[in-house]
Amino acid sequence: MAGLDDLDVRLPSVKPRVAVIGAGWAGLAAAVELAPHVRLTVFEAGRTPGGRARRVRDAEHTIDNGQHILLGAYQTCWRLMRQVGADQASALLRLPLTWVQADGLRMRCPRWPAPWHLLAGLLSARGLSWRDKGRLIFALGRLSLARWQVAGDPTVAEWLDAARQDAVLKETFWRPLVLAALNTPPEQASMRMLAAVLRDSLGAARAASDMLLPRRDLSALFPEPAVAWLAAQGGMFHFGHRVTSVEPVANGVLVDGEAFDAAIVACAPYHAARLLPAAIVPPIVKKLSFLPIYTVYLRFARPPRLPEPMIGLRRGTADWLFDRDALCGEAGMLAAVISAPQPGALPEGDAALIAAVLADARRIVADLPEPAWTRVVVERRATFAATPGLTRPGVRLGVQSLFLAGDWVEGEYPATLEGAVQSGVAAAHALMQDMTHTER
């Protein structure tokens, strides 16, 4: 997505005052895009930037509030990280497309040009019969020939049935892929939205399908470099300030009674609905449904030494385990991720869940001792449910000078970091275009 400097926009002669409510990835993306052109103030209820992708602290450790995987296809993320001076080479471990389950599929794609890298990875994969490899290659090939478009908007499960994907392929390849990409079970997930992700990763240049695993905590990855860069640009920040009202007025917007020429509301949809006047909140905002992500942290007295920095389980409580000792230098730390568990599927209580995840980890590293420290982090509304036919609000609210941003705002992507920053950039562009039109 192009930046404001690449657009033919005649800016006002006096820099307008603009408020951004929320210092998550969407709000910071909007702020970075706007900073050279406006007098910027950012309000954030928390003490740490990053929203639902940030570090959290307890009495003993600093950890992330979840585990994220980025893709080489995330071009807007990479552009903004470069702009604020974030060091991608040291902050992220870049791996060619790798899919390793301890009890299932093992696939490693070579660094060959696309699509040969994917074909080679699938043909050499372990854990699938030659018949299943042929069915999978045929299904992906047909989707590619259709330019990654699907007729209508079926669920992923419906599309898989039509593509003759058998139970092994569904369980071993497709379900983990859909949960990782959309945090929505295949029976509920939109195939159109999944196809957009596949188009930009598997259907693009080889590097677009690379997996990038954070080697720093999520706040240090982009939010903190963005805050430092914005402060150097003259941006003002109010951390620990929970905005209570955003009201459009004749000449701009009032944020807790303070006058601004425009504002971008870049917080979760349920917070946006509370902040804004009811008459301008799009009805769909209150109809969005959400799914959780659980992250279970286990710290051991010695490094756990998983065989891969990221390894999955076909049959386990955890979907993926991450060796954060190897990735981030967090001594002895494992993180286990459970995406969109069905109601009643998990053991009740933190102690039972930790015991189940520890049993998963011991299936991979048999001699793991009892952990010295544990914690369960639950984002109960981690992502919107990426279901077929979903209507999402646009960045414009239908009133002058007030805009929305967030991974839940209209776009092709599901609730990912790339979807969040794309929405922030789109809101910034809409704001400047509308303001320019008003000035004329």
Do the beta carbons of residue 245 and residue 254 sit within 8 Å?
yes
- Least confident span in 211-220, 328-337, 369-378, 431-440: 431-440
Per CATH, the number for 4-88+216-288+392-439 is 3.50.50.60
Rounded to whole angstroms, the Cα distance separating 166 from 144 reads: 20
How would residue 359 be classed by pLDDT, with cut points 50, 70 and 90?
A: very high
The average confidence (pLDDT) of the chain is 94
Rounded to whole angstroms, the Cα distance separating 130 from 162 reads: 20
Do the beta carbons of residue 238 and residue 41 sit within 8 Å?
yes
Instruction: Give the amino acid at 222.
Output: F
Q: How confident is the model at residue 436, as a pLDDT? A: 77
The domain locations on the chain are: 4-88+216-288+392-439, 97-209, 291-383
Burial of 378 (0-12, 13-18, 19+ CB in 10 A): middle
How would residue 117 be classed by pLDDT, with cut points 50, 70 and 90?
A: very high
Q: How confident is the model at residue 375, as a pLDDT? A: 96
Q: Which residues contact 291 (CB under 8 A, 6 or more apart)?
A: 183, 184, 340, 381, 382, 383, 384, 385
Q: How confident is the model at residue 3, as a pLDDT? A: 66
Residue 60 predicted with pLDDT over 90: no
Per CATH, the number for 291-383 is 3.90.660.20
Name the nearest CA neighbour of 28 among 234, 223, 228.
Answer: 223
How would residue 114 be classed by pLDDT, with cut points 50, 70 and 90?
A: very high
DSSP conformation class of 278: G
Residue 410 predicted with pLDDT over 70: yes
Residue 11 predicted with pLDDT over 80: no
Q: What percent of the chain has pLDDT over 70?
A: 96
Question: For 409-415, what is the mean pLDDT?
Answer: 93
Rounded to whole angstroms, the Cα distance separating 143 from 195 reads: 8
Instruction: Work out the angle between the directed axes of helices 191-201 and 175-182 (0-180°, nearest 10).
Output: 90
Give the containing element (helix H, strand E) for 83: helix 75-83
Question: For 170-179, what is the mean pLDDT?
Answer: 95
Residue 199 predicted with pLDDT over 70: yes
Q: Which residues contact 345 (CB under 8 A, 6 or more apart)?
A: none
Residue 7 predicted with pLDDT over 70: no
How would residue 5 be classed by pLDDT, with cut points 50, 70 and 90?
A: low
Judge whether 4-88+216-288+392-439 and 291-383 match in fold: no
Question: For 167-173, what is the mean pLDDT?
Answer: 95
pLDDT digits (tens, 9 = 90+) for 86-95: 998 899 999 9
Take residue 378 and report the two structure tokens written for it. Answer: 């639950």
Bridge partner list, 321: 311, 336
Do the beta carbons of residue 314 and residue 172 sit within 8 Å?
yes
Q: How confident is the model at residue 438, as a pLDDT? A: 59
Q: What percent of the chain has pLDDT over 90?
A: 90
How would residue 10 be classed by pLDDT, with cut points 50, 70 and 90?
A: low
Question: For 133-159, what is the mean pLDDT?
Answer: 96
